[in-house]
Structure 1
Amino acid sequence: MNAAANLPDDIEALKAIILAQQEQNARLEALVAAFKQALFGRKSEKIGPDQFELALEDIETAIAQVETEGEAKPLVTPTRTSTPRKASRGSLPRHLPRIEEVIEPETTLCDCGCERHVIGEDVSERLDIIPAQFRVIVTRRPKYACRSCEGRIVQAPAPAHLIPGGMPTEATVAHVIVSKYADHLPLYRQAQIYSRQGIDLDRSTLAAWVGRAAFELKPVYDALLANLKRSTKLFMDETTAPVLDPGRRKTKTGYFWVLARDDRPWGGGAPPGVAFTYAPGRSGQYAEGILKGFTGTLQVDGYAGYNRLLKRPTQDIQLAYCWAHARRKLHEVAQTGTTPIADEGLKQIAALYRIEKDVRGQKPEARLSERQARSKPIIDAFEAWLTTHRARLSAKSPLGEALKYIAKYWDGLTLFLTDGRIEIDNNAVERSIRPIALNRKNALFAGHDAGAQIWAMLASLIETCKLNAVDLHAWITATLRAIINGHKQSDIDALLPWNYAQTV
C-alpha cells in the first residue's frame, strides 16, 4: 500500500496539501542555504569562532523545528511499514551508569489460556541528565572517656577546611570557580540556579568563597608564572579588561597581559602553560615588568609597546613577529574590491602556511632545514615583491599602509627562518585569550582592579589545566585540599597542573 492511496479525492484539499508542502520546503531550503553560507561561505575575520558556532546552533535549531513540525502534522497519513525506521545516534559511553526499566505487556496470558514465554527483546538507550545534585556531608567526631578513671577525653582533631566553620566543601568552591571562570557563568546567575533547588546562597557569599580560594591558590599561580619565564621562547599578547571605576560611576579600560608557552609544535619537553596578569594600562612598561627575569625569544604582534623590551641594557630579548597579523592587513585591503597586488601577497603567505602545516610536530632541526629549503625562496620573492610595490604605491593608501606595516616588522617576521622553535604566527596566545573575551561578554566588567587580578590568576590556572588535558574541578579540589593540609611551599611546583596530570 503506497502513500498515494491516502491522498484525498477532493481537488481543493489536494491543493492545500501541495501549498503547505511547498511552504515547508521553501522554509527548509532557506535555512539550508543559510547553513551552507555560515559553514562554507566567506566569513569576516572579525567574527570569532564562538560567534560562528552560535550562528550555526541557531540555524540548526530552526531546521529541526521545521522538520519536527512536519512530523507532528503529516500532510499525508503515513502508512505502516514492515520495518521501523532506525535512527543512527551513535553509542553512549560505557562508563555511564545504566538504570534499567523493563516494560511488560498488560498481560502475558495467551488466548488459549497458557502463559507466554520470552523469545527476545528490543533494547534502546537514551541519555538522561540529572541537574547538579546537592548533598550534605555530615562529619561526626565522637568523644571518648574512660569509665574506670578520670583520664583525659579523646577526640579526633577536626579536619582542615578552606572555609573554617563554613558550609562549603573544597569541591563546592571548585565548582563555583569552574562555573565562573571556565563556563563563564557569573556568580549572581549561579546563585539563581542554586535557589531553584532550595539552596539560598547570596552572591556575596559565593564571592567570599572565591576570594578565599584565590588567596590560597596564589602561590601556585606565582609558581606557574615563574616557570613560564624560565623558558627561552614565549608568546605574549594583551586584551582589554573593563573594570568598574566607582568614583566616576563608569568603567575604565584595564588590560590582561598574557604569557603563553606551547612547545608542542616542535616537540619541546616543557608542558604548555598560560599566565594572565592584570595591569591598569597598555604601556610597554607593564610588559617589561611582567617579563622581568625572562631572556630569549618573545613572539608578539606589531604593538609598538613591545619595542621597549629591545632597549633593555642586557639586550637579551629578541622579538619574533606574527604573519597572521601581516596577512590580516592585506586581507582587509582585498575585501574592498579587485586588488591583484593584495591577492598576490595573500597567495605567497598561504604558501608559507602550507609548509608550516607540513613541518608541524617535527624537531627544530628538521623544521629549520625544511624552512631553509622551501620557505626561504618564498620569503626572498616576497621581499622583492614588497620593495617593488612600495616604490609604486602611495604610502598613505590602504595597500601602501599594509605594505609599510610588513616592511616595518620584516626582520621579526623572517626570524622563523633562523630558529626551528619559532612559530610563523602568534595564534597560540590568541587562542588563549578567547576565554577571557567570553567571560568579559558574560560578566560585562570586573568590579575592581583587585577583582581583575583574581580573574587573571584563576583564568591562568584554568587555561593551563585545559592545555594539559587536566580535569578542572578535580585539580582545583585536590590542590585546595593539599594547601589547607599544609603542603610545603618549597614543593609548590608539585601542585602545577601538568604535575597533577602525571599522578592521576
Structure 2
Amino acid sequence: MQENKENPNELLELLLEKCDHLYQENMLLRGKLEDRTDVDALKSSYEKTISEKDTKIVDLEKQVAYLRRRIWGKSSERYIQEDPQQRRIDFDGFDLLPGEIELVEAARAEIETFRERRVKERVKRKPVRKPLSEDFPRIEEHLYPDEINDNMDAWTELEPEVTEVLEYEPGKCYVRKIVRHKYVLKSKPSRESEEKSSLIVTASLPTRYQPIARSYAGASLLAELMINKYVNHLPFYRQIQMMKQLGANLPPPTVNDWFKDTADLLRPLYYRLKELVLATDYIQVDETTVPVINNEKHKTVNGYMWMVRSVMDSQLFFHYDHGSRAQNVALSLLNDFRGAMQTDGYAVYKMYEQKKGVLPLGCWAHARRKFTESLKNDKSRAEYALEQIGLLYEVEREADDKNLSYEDRAKLRESLAYPIMVAFEKWLVREYEKVLPKSPIGKAIKYTYDIYHRLTRYHLDGRYRIDNNLAENSLRGLALGRKNYLFCGNHDAAEDAAVMYSLLGCCKAADVNFRDWMVYVLSRIHDYDEDYTRDLAELLPGNYSRRNP
C-alpha cells in the first residue's frame, strides 16, 4: 500500500518534466523562426545593394561612352536639341566637299608619280664619291709611262688620268693630286709590234699613294686616325669632329671601313710578329678585359685580350679569341713555345708545370700586392712579408746600380736573395696554420705558397725578371683606351684592335715615332705582296729604328 501512495507523485513529476521539455522545444523553434526572419532581411538588403550597383555600372558605362564621343567622336549629338536655337549647329556637314575630294585624289596621284620616279632613280643610280673640296691646298705629282721614254716623238698625249688623295699634316689637310699622263701612238704599228705594245699607254699608279684600293685616304690620313685612337685614345667620332674643323667631312661608315681595311692590310705583319715573339726563349704573358658588344644580349660583355711579350727584344703582341680566357685559348696560343714563361697566379698557367721544355716563372709584384691588401687585417704578419719581399727588390736595385751582367746578377741573387726566399717559405708554412684561411692574410699566404716554386726560379738566370711589371705596363694603353672609346663593336673589331695595339705597342717599346713608322709601313706594305723573298719583319718597329736612327 505504501508503494501505491507514492505512484501519483512520480506521475506528476513525469508530466511536469515532459511539459518543461515541450516548453524548451517551443522556445527553441521560436528562436529559429526569429533567426529566419533576420536572414530574409539580410537577403533583401543584399539584393537591394546589388540592384544599386548594377544601376551605378550602367551610369558609369554611359559616362564612358559620353567621354569617348567627346574625345573620338563628333562634338554635336545626333538627336534633336532641347533648345531650338541649337538646331543651327546640329548638322556637321560632310568632311570633304566633292570638289575637295577631287583635289585630294589629284594630289595623291601626283605624289605617287614622285614616289615611283624616286624609286627608279634609286635603283639606277650608282654611288658616286663626292669630289674633295676645292678649298684644300693641292700638291701635284706627275707620272709618265715608261713606254714613251725611248721615242717621245712617236706618241701623242691624251687627256691624263687624275687621282686625288687626302693627306694629313699636323694641323691641316691637303690633297695630293696625282696626274698620270696618257699617250697614244701616232702611227698604227705593224702586226708584230702590235702584239708587243698597246696603242694607248698610261702611267701606272704606285700603291704607295693608295694603301687601300679605290680609296681617297692617303697613308698619312690613315696613320693619323689609327694613332689617335690606339695611342691617344680618341674615338673615331671625336676625330671626325676634329677633321670637320679642318674642312674634311669624313662619313663615319667610311672611317670604320678604313679601320677594317687598315687592320687587314697590317695583319700579315702582325702574324709575322707573333711568330718572332713565340720563337724566343723568354716571354711574359698577361691578360686584361676589353668590353665587346653582344648583339644577342644587347649589351656589352667583358672579353679577354691576351698579351705576350718577348722580354729580351722588347716585342709584344695582343691576341683575341672571341673574348675567351679559357684554358684552350692558352693551349693553342702557346702550343709551340719553349722556354721561360713568366705569368701571374692564374690557374690556367699551372698546367705548364708539366709541359716539357717550358719553365714557368712567377711574379713577386702580384704576391706583394696580396700582402698589401691584407695590412688592415693582420698588420704584423703583412708587414713582415712585405719586408722580406722588399729585401728581394733591394738585391735587384743593387744589381741595376752596378750595371751587372746577366751572369753576375744571377750570382748576386744566389748569394743574397736565395737565402731570404728559403727562410720566407718556412715562415709561410708556419704562419698559415695560425690564420683563418678565408681572411685576407690567409689568402695572401696561400696564394704566395701555392706558386712559390715559380716565384723563386728567377734566380736561375740573370735575364729573368723578378716580376711581370713590364707586361702590365704594356696593358696600360689598352686600359686607357677602353675608358675613352668604351667598347668594341663586335669580336671582329676586337681582333682588329689587337692588330693595332700589337704593332703600335712595339713602336712604344722600341721608342719609335708612331706616325713616321705608320706612314712608312702603309706606303710600303704592298711591296711585299708578290715578292716572297722579302721578310715582312723588315717593317717591324725594331728594324725600322735601326734603319732610321
TM-score by length of 1: 0.69
- 1:458 maps to 500
Offset from partner CA, 1:179-238 (integer Å, 9 cap, x none): 111111111111111112221111211111121111111111001110000111100011
Correspondence 1:321 to 2:362: yes
Q: Aligned match of 1:133 in 162, 172, 190?
A: 172
Distance 1:211 1:366, change over 3 A: same
Residue type matched to 1:194 in 2? M
- 1:331 maps to 372
**C-alpha deviation, 1:150, in angstroms:** 4.6
Describe how 1:259-270 pairs up with structure 2 within 5 A: 259-263=308-312
User: CA separation in 1, counterparts of 2:439 and 2:547?
Assistant: 58
Correspondence 1:414 to 2:461: no
User: CA separation in 2, counterparts of 1:341 and 1:274?
Assistant: 38
- 2:543 maps to 499
Describe how 1:84-483 pairs up with structure 2 within 5 A: 132-145=171-184, 149-150=187-188, 152-160=199-207, 161-263=210-312, 271-279=313-321, 280-312=323-355, 315-334=356-375, 336=376, 339-360=379-400, 362-483=404-525
- 2:196 maps to none
Greater RCO structure (CA 8 Å; 6+ sep)? 1
The structure richer in helix per residue is: 2
User: CA separation in 2, counterparts of 1:212 and 1:333?
Assistant: 49
CA contact 1:253–1:281 (8 Å) conserved in 2: no
CA contact 1:288–1:308 (8 Å) conserved in 2: no
User: CA separation in 1, counterparts of 2:519 and 2:306?
Assistant: 27
More moved, 221-230 vs 271-280 = 271-280
User: CA separation in 2, counterparts of 1:282 and 1:411?
Assistant: 24
CA contact 1:302–1:321 (8 Å) conserved in 2: yes
Residue type matched to 1:156 in 2? A
More moved, 154-163 vs 411-420 = 154-163
**C-alpha deviation, 1:138, in angstroms:** 0.8
**C-alpha deviation, 1:262, in angstroms:** 2.0
- 1:18 maps to none
**C-alpha deviation, 1:154, in angstroms:** 4.1
- 2:17 maps to none
User: CA separation in 2, counterparts of 1:429 and 1:451?
Assistant: 23
More moved, 217-226 vs 396-405 = 396-405
User: CA separation in 2, counterparts of 1:424 and 1:486?
Assistant: 40
Residue type matched to 2:203 in 1? A
**C-alpha deviation, 1:285, in angstroms:** 1.4
For the residue of structure 1 that corresponds to 2:179, the secondary structure is coil
**Larger Cα Rg: Structure 1 or Structure 2?**
2
- 2:129 maps to none
**C-alpha deviation, 1:397, in angstroms:** 2.5
User: CA separation in 1, counterparts of 2:443 and 2:377?
Assistant: 17
User: CA separation in 2, counterparts of 1:163 and 1:377?
Assistant: 60
**C-alpha deviation, 1:338, in angstroms:** 6.3
CA contact 1:284–1:308 (8 Å) conserved in 2: no
How many residues matched? 364
- Paired-residue identity, %: 34
**C-alpha deviation, 1:146, in angstroms:** 5.7
**C-alpha deviation, 1:429, in angstroms:** 0.4
For the residue of structure 2 that corresponds to 1:485, the secondary structure is helix
Residue type matched to 2:384 in 1? E
Distance 1:486 1:230, change over 3 A: closer
**C-alpha deviation, 1:502, in angstroms:** 1.1
For the residue of structure 1 that corresponds to 2:288, the secondary structure is strand
User: CA separation in 1, counterparts of 2:441 and 2:528?
Assistant: 61
Offset from partner CA, 1:134-171 (integer Å, 9 cap, x none): 11111112224466x35634432122222223211111
Offset from partner CA, 1:24-54 (integer Å, 9 cap, x none): xxxxxxxxxxxxxxxxxxxxxxxxxxxxxxx
**C-alpha deviation, 1:443, in angstroms:** 1.2
User: CA separation in 2, counterparts of 1:410 and 1:142?
Assistant: 71
Residue type matched to 2:177 in 1? V
CA contact 1:162–1:212 (8 Å) conserved in 2: no
The structure richer in strand per residue is: 2
CA contact 1:479–1:495 (8 Å) conserved in 2: yes
For the residue of structure 1 that corresponds to 2:319, the secondary structure is strand
For the residue of structure 1 that corresponds to 2:172, the secondary structure is coil
**C-alpha deviation, 1:484, in angstroms:** 2.0
User: CA separation in 2, counterparts of 1:181 and 1:136?
Assistant: 25
- 1:76 maps to none
**Which consecutive unaligned segments of at least 5 residues does structure 2 have?**
1-168, 190-198
User: CA separation in 1, counterparts of 2:452 and 2:170?
Assistant: 55
For the residue of structure 2 that corresponds to 1:484, the secondary structure is helix
**C-alpha deviation, 1:437, in angstroms:** 0.6
For the residue of structure 1 that corresponds to 2:353, the secondary structure is helix
CA contact 1:321–1:413 (8 Å) conserved in 2: yes
CA contact 1:225–1:275 (8 Å) conserved in 2: yes
For the residue of structure 1 that corresponds to 2:205, the secondary structure is coil
User: CA separation in 2, counterparts of 1:475 and 1:131?
Assistant: 15
CA contact 2:377–2:441 (8 Å) conserved in 1: no
Offset from partner CA, 1:220-279 (integer Å, 9 cap, x none): 10011100001111000110111101121111221000001222xxxxxxx211100012
- 1:123 maps to none
For the residue of structure 2 that corresponds to 1:318, the secondary structure is strand
For the residue of structure 2 that corresponds to 1:142, the secondary structure is strand
**C-alpha deviation, 1:362, in angstroms:** 3.1
Describe how 1:41-120 pairs up with structure 2 within 5 A: none
TM-score by length of 2: 0.64
- 1:81 maps to none
- 2:526 maps to 484
**C-alpha deviation, 1:388, in angstroms:** 2.4
